Structure 1
């Protein structure tokens, strides 16, 4: 795990290494063990790397790394877990290696198979590879987008980095705010890929390769080499029995988990006590024989505290368990750091305990496994089973009734607005859209996904006009007819919520403390297999994560696992009414709102008053999102101007 940064200047210039050094300096948290850079004035390419040593701890594993003939240069963030097998294959073809690192393998895999070599990689990665002979630069992101990769492009300059903050170190960076991205952030709490908060910055998509031609001075090819929709569209395993499917799933889980244990440094596990993290811990301890350290974060508010459950699981599995509590005082200390590390607006409040846990874990281990992706892959969210029913009910209503239903929903919305009641407007807006949705398009999923603000609310809240930006909610490929409604929801969640919320949260929180986070469930082989399992088995009797539970039950008591799903909930409404109110008073003041110039202060004032009177969670979330934006603006726009 590392941080990478660099730039390509489209016109020849005198090389000044202070820029690349500055870019690496602000990424020090991602790689405290070493920093290196490489540049060539004639080629106008400059690559930098911050290293967190995980494999081959010697200096031989440093980056940027050049091939023996110096035709190739690579910088790389992440891990290729099966690098040893690929390296063995390359050795049989005559290649020799100087290091025990996966970085060197990338160079010679490209030499042998070209850019298609990426299809052989099992892992998480953001790779920038410069082919000096062909004068091409490739930007490659892993299949799920576990590792971030940002691109800034202007008329004369292209920059890349693991985090946007590095771009500020280049004098030609333009931090023009993408005003059309702000409504997306307010709706979802994150800015969906490929968009970013800045007009000239984009995110490389998961499973994407960008090819930059040095002579033409532009990106000439954008290729998606892996798409989750393709897995869902493969022929289902109708010929396999449930027992066969469970046995084969178990073997894939074991392989995926073992790969994520490959490291030359200590490895631990984030254990919540839920189905997913319990499965990872149980398989590694009971079936694969690892002695593990487990780590849990809880709250001093018992309504949100799951630490006791995690402790019971750890006792069953005999792990070396560490438990921490996140208090309001801890939250007060963490919140000012959020805009520093999440350097575009981000409003998942569970980032607070995730950052605190990462801080506590780092003295014990250098790598931490997290069990993200289980809900998206195996069907764990309750919305899959409840909102899918709502969708079917509205969509299957007779055509003659759709207009009256939509009219009635619109009337209800207008009536509630007249009373000043906006808390359900986004839900009613979504219901109206479901009635009119084209059920042959995956884009209908945006209608049943959770949006916090309706269009009406956004227009009242924002001072300026904004345009609608397309996202994976809108531009999704089609799924084969034998895919269930749940599978349609899963495929979109993988490209939206999991990608831009869950994985961003874990990457920035762990990297803030130089801790490598790994995702053992996000193995493309496992995903592809599970996508082909018939829905009748995968979601048997409408039981969320049926297959994972059946495997878990063989290792842990059923009564320990069969608890209501709670998620990583944070008592944000309680905090905002108490200790965190000071942040609202500061960043949501009339003066601060006027400084940013984005929002209507009177609307925020009404929202805060409504929250204090009604104390609804939805209003707490609305305030939190606006607060997160204002804190980000204060640090990255107002602060930079000052």
Structure 2
């Protein structure tokens, strides 16, 4: 896992590469490297910095005469596999191909063995070198052979092109700015904005989507004008001779359902195959030369991962005991409020596996103490404070000496885990089997502890309304709808009427899922557009802030492709969500976990936290940043909120989104150029050192 950045600029404005790379230090504190190249002649110069591996003798990057070059690549390495200098990046074998890379190729051993039979030799034991050999052998087709999470850039001096790619689900980030002549890219937006060519301007449409529609990370456009994200499953090719840039999709999920798997005689095979794929996904993600741990919430997904890890470590010894320790380490965020604390469930898994339990209690005091650090590291606004417990869990893992964690992200979108998917499922049942069958399914859901049948059917009816009518109703009454479609919580009177008028015809994007039923279409949409992409951003930034690599077994592409080929009854059946996971894991999970009726998601006492920060919120609402946001937020509404008592202020609709937007605007546009996060202390407080703001292009 690493941070990467790069600049192709015919004007040779390459000096910011060191500033960009320094802002990514938290992503890779173990090594630092640079390449400066002249794309026409092929000449190049390597350089290093203060964090470069001690076994390397590289000139300082600031000593390089950048006017002689038009391409610069930068890398910050978090050493996970082969901790020696052999894993240094930018990596080359022959001086003609250069790679900067963020992520992990989990099947690198198998690919390395295949490439060795084709005549390739390797001097390292890292997956980075495997990528270079795979590209040499198969060109851009190498991507389909990778099982992993990745974003990378390869400078191909022979073909005079820059080849950049992102993994199937976009687990690892890749942001870029392209003006038709210069290409600037980085793992995080904050690094990208250190280049003077990149404008420091908020994107109005993204802010509208965040405030009104309640979505983010749902398109290629970011919250910043001119800055785009390379879509998941796509690659970018830049020909440096004619300065032509093109983006192509290299992977898409096949939504064709194998209806024959519905047959009773095939169900044992399906359960076995699902278990086999999930187990192997966990097995591959335990490959590491540094300590590995697991995130444990007490929910079904994380409990399944911890249980499988335990079996693989005990029976197959997939990771050396010197790396893992005597026991698997689990990391859990608890709540002081018993009604939203899931420790009872997580503790059952700890007791069953004999894992070493590590607990943290996120608090309002610490949230408000490090609010600016939290917002700064996330790059773009976040939906709620429910992302803050994950921040604390990653910090705890770092404090315990763990460098890699496995997490259950993606399981809900893959297996229809959210209860809010049930109305969509009723739509599916109704279209296939009729209204009576849909009513029966609603009763099944209510029987096992889900939403009352009456409410479930009401939500189903609401989803049948035209989209514009849904949006109108959402201003008056909150609806339980699927992730990404429930609005932001703000009311029309809180938002600038000019903003509403300007984007009145804007609507949520929908991923193409032709020929599928309502549930599969909703899951595909959440997996690719309206829910998982933002969760992956949160996961990446929260973990990398503390130099932690987070690995996600439920997003192994083999497992995802298998599940999307199954009939919907393997996801929801008899009132139970995630049916295939429950059926496949019931022999190793406690019944209380496997057949757990409740689902809390990421519960936090947000109202209490907001009330505890009321005085700080009032200060924010009187700040220059808030005044500059008049084009987005109604000034009268903001003034009225400031005058409210603490409890009433905390209960204001969409308050967190307003607070987050104000802090984000302050950090990125009023105090944008900064030296960045200087470190993370034991308490998790990060120090921000700002310089003068920069505006426009």
TM-score range for the pair, normalised by the shorter chain length: 0.7 to 0.9
**Cα separation, 2, equivalents of 1:633 and 1:39:** 34
Contact 1:507–1:517 (CA under 8 A) maintained in structure 2: yes
> Is the 1:378–1:545 Cα contact (8 Å) retained in structure 2?
yes
Deviations along 1:59-101, whole A, 9 cap, x unmatched? 0101111132x22111110000001111111111111111111
Query: What is the distance in 2 between the residues matched to 1:501 and 1:457?
Result: 27
Give how far 1:570 is off. 1.4
Contact kept? 1:37, 1:49, Cα under 8 Å: yes
SS of aligned partner of 2:344: helix
Residue 607 of structure 2: aligned partner: 573
Out of 54, 74, 80, the position equivalent to 2:99 is 74
1:50 aligns to what?
Answer: 76
Distance 2:428 2:670 in 1: 43
| 2:54 aligned partner | none
2:396 alignment partner in structure 1: 360
Task: Classify 1:616/1:479 alpha carbon distance in 2 versus 1 (closer, same or farther; 3 Å).
Answer: farther
Distance 1:494 1:560, change over 3 A: closer
Note closer, same or farther for the CA distance 1:406–1:156 as it changes in structure 2 (3 Å cut): closer
- Are 2:117 and 1:92 equivalent residues in the alignment? yes
8 Å contact kept, 2:384–2:656: no
**Normalising by structure 2, what TM-score?**
0.80
**1:320-378 per-position Cα deviation (integer Å, ceiling 9, x unaligned):** 11111112222222322122101122233222111111111113200011111111111
Mean Cα displacement is larger for which, 292-301 or 25-34? 292-301
In structure 2, the CA distance between the partners of 1:459 and 1:600, relative to structure 1 (3 Å rule), is closer
1:249 aligns with 2:283: no
Distance 1:201 1:75 in 2: 20
Deviation at 1:554, TM superposition (A): 0.8
Stretch moving more, 53-62 or 311-320? 311-320
Give the 5 Å matches for 1:400-479: 422-424=475-477, 427=479, 449-452=485-488, 460=496, 466-467=502-503, 473-479=508-514
Offset at residue 457 of structure 1 (A)? 5.6
Which stretch of the first structure deviates more once superposed, 540-549 or 273-282?
540-549
Does residue 218 in structure 1 map to residue 244 in structure 2? yes
Query: Structure 1 422/521 Cα, relative in aligned 2: closer, same or farther at 3 Å?
Result: closer
Which residue matches 2:375? Answer: 339
Cα deviation digits, residues 404-448 of structure 1 (max 9, x gap)? x979x97x999x9xxxx9442x759x9xxxxxxxxxxxxxx89x8
**Selected match of 1:237 from 258, 261, 265:** 261
2 CA distance for matches of 1:497 and 1:608? 32
After superposition, give the CA deviation of every residue in 1:149-199 in whole Å (9 maximum; x if it has no partner). 101122442111000011232222211221111111223253423110111
Q: State the alpha-carbon separation in 2 of the partners of residues 217 and 272 from structure 1.
A: 48
Distance in structure 2 (CA, Å) of the matches to 1:199 and 1:82: 37
2:39–2:160 Cα contact (<8 Å) kept? no
Q: Does 2:375 match 1:305? A: no
Does the CA-based 8 Å contact 1:194-1:203 persist in structure 2? yes
- The equivalent of 2:7 in structure 1 is 7
Could you say which residue in structure 2 is the equivalent of 1:440? none
Change (3 A) 1:127 1:268: same
Unaligned runs of 5+ in 2: 41-69, 318-326, 436-460, 673-691
Question: Residue 461 of structure 1 contacts residue 604 of structure 1 at CA under 8 Å; is this kept in 2?
Answer: no
Matches of 1:296 and 1:163, distance apart in 2: 27
Report how many aligned residue pairs link the two structures: 601
Flag the 1:615–1:556 CA change in 2: closer, same or farther, 3 A.
farther
Equivalent residue for 2:559, pick from 514, 519, 526: 526
Runs (5+) with no aligned partner, structure 1: 431-444
Aligned partners of 1:35 and 1:270: how far apart in 2? Answer: 29
Q: Does 1:637 align with 2:669?
A: yes
CA distance in 2, matches of 1:250, 1:352: 32
Question: 1:413 and 1:79 mapped to 2: Cα distance?
Answer: 41
* Secondary structure in structure 2 of the residue aligned to 1:521: helix
Q: How many Å separate the matches in 1 of 2:168 and 2:465?
A: 39
Q: 1: distance between equivalents of 2:666 and 2:412?
A: 35
Three-state SS of the structure 1 residue aligned to 2:553 is coil
1:545-601 CA deviation, whole Å, 9 max, x = no partner? Answer: 111112332112212441401111211112112x21133212222754213343221
Correspondence for 1:203 among 217, 222, 229: 229
Distance change >3 Å, CA 591–CA 33, structure 1 → 2: closer
In 2 relative to 1, CA 525–560 (structure 1 residues): closer, same or farther, beyond 3 Å?
A: closer
Residue deviations 1:301-331, cap 9 Å, x none?
A: 2222212321222111111111111122222
Q: Give 1:453 shift.
A: 5.4
SS in 2 for 1:542: coil
Partner of 2:53: none
CA distance in 1, matches of 2:209, 2:114: 45
SS at match of 1:326: coil
Aligned residue number for residue 384 of structure 1: 421
1:605–1:393 distance in 2 versus 1, CA, 3 Å = farther
Do residues 374 (structure 1) and 411 (structure 2) align? yes
**Separation in 2, partners of 1:372, 1:485:** 23
> Counterpart of 1:337 in 2: which secondary structure?
helix
- In 1: Cα distance, 2:495 partner to 2:668 partner: 25
Preserved contact between residue 257 and residue 566 of structure 2 (Cα < 8 Å): no
Q: Post-superposition shift, 1:261?
A: 0.3
Cα deviation, residue 451, structure 1: 1.6
Q: Give yes or no for the alignment of 1:314 onto 2:350.
A: yes
Which of 11, 22, 25 is matched with 1:25 structurally? Answer: 22
State the Cα distance separating 1:606 from its structure 2 match. 4.6
Within 5 Å, give how 1:93-242 maps onto structure 2: 93-186=118-211, 187-188=213-214, 190-219=216-245, 221-228=246-253, 230-232=254-256, 237-238=261-262, 241-242=266-267
Output one character per residue of 1:108-132: Cα deviation in whole Å (capped at 9) or x when no partner. 1111111011000000000111211
Alpha-carbon shift at residue 294 of structure 1 (Å)? 0.6
How many angstroms does 1:394 deviate by? Answer: 12
Is residue 94 of structure 2 the alignment partner of residue 60 of structure 1? no
The question of whether the paired residues in 2 share the 8 Å contact of 1:55 and 1:101 is answered with: yes
State the 1:387 CA deviation. 4.7
* RMSD over equivalenced CA pairs, Å: 3.1
8 Å CA contact retained: 1:463, 1:597: no
Q: What secondary structure, in the 3-state scheme, does the structure 1 residue paired with 2:193 have?
A: helix
Q: For 2:646 and 2:427, how far apart are their aligned partners in 1? A: 32
- Structure 1 runs of 4+ aligned residues shifted over 6 Å read 390-397, 468-471, 608-617
